[in-house]
Amino acid sequence: MIKSDTLQVALAQMTPIWLNRDSTLQKMESWAEEAGAKGSQLIVFPEALVPGYPFWIELTDGARFNNQRQKELHAHYLDQAIQVEAGHLDGLCAIAAQHKMVIVLGSIERPSDRGGHSVYCSMIYIDENGQVANVHRKLMPTYEERLCWSPGDGHGLRTFPLGAFTVGGLNCWENWMPLARAALYAMGEDLHLAIWPGQMRNTEDITPFIAKEGRSFAISVCSFMRAEDIPADIPHAEVIKSSSPAIMANGGSCIAAPNGEWVVAPVVNEEKLIIATLDHARVREERQNFDPAGHYSRPDVTQLTVNRERQSTIRIKD
């Protein structure tokens, strides 16, 4: 079967209904419906979009030990986190199946397989049949995120075929981890998805760098959020808002071609559904002079070992 070289992709630079899982999911479903109706075969949502990035940590003295305010905010965050096994993503799965469209989303996951009371920053891949095909838990939370998120494991370091492309992705500063990128390249990745909470400063340099390093298309997707978007009904809303800059996440979603040139330059300071068409022929052209896991690799000299076992604190033998 001949696969089309072209792929229509949608980047959802969206503002969450912050720290409200159900309302944010409803908004995501609306955006996914729009992307599917316009013919997109892939839509990507930002890191931690549902129920939202933990901006409060650096704004409310989050490192203070045994602080009641931090406890209350964390408890609320756990209440609003998603559980795949509870069916929270069923609506998005149905939309993916309806439009034969892949949906990739950033989430705060509260999985029962780790006791159910810790959260992970997870990149979730819903395939075109509406099945949750992968949950990649961020390997290392960044800086203040470690006060909130647990470190993940290698179970989700995987790639997936999508038309002529092979898709993989990482969360935020994971994209700076050379060995994580190398693992995806070795699995055939030629369309890299990088999801971020927002800020063009994170995406304007690394997106074309990954594209050139992997000779792949690289997509970065960010959220857009302002202080005025903080809901009044969340715990300690006024304290958080009083410490927040006017723009908490300015976006920066973009697409770079396999030679590092912009397909879509970073988009800032607005909510926007960005749609573009990618041509796999561009990948094959750039692989002529450099292929990081192919003709320009030396596995006899350097090799990478990846442990994809899902980690757990218990092994039960009945």
Question: CA–CA separation, 113 vs 50, rounded Å?
Answer: 20
**Tokens coding 163:** 């038309």
CA angle in degrees (0–180, nearest 5) for 174-180-181: 95
Question: CA–CA separation, 55 vs 244, rounded Å?
Answer: 9
Contact by Cβ (8 Å): 60, 239: yes
* Residues with catalytic function: 47, 138, 172
Closest CA to 40 of 69, 8, 5: 8
Q: Three-state DSSP class for 28?
A: helix
Instruction: Find the helix or strand (DSSP H, E) in which 108 lies.
Output: strand 102-109
Helix runs in the chain, H state only: 21-37, 56-59, 68-80, 90-99, 178-186, 200-203, 206-214, 237-243, 281-286
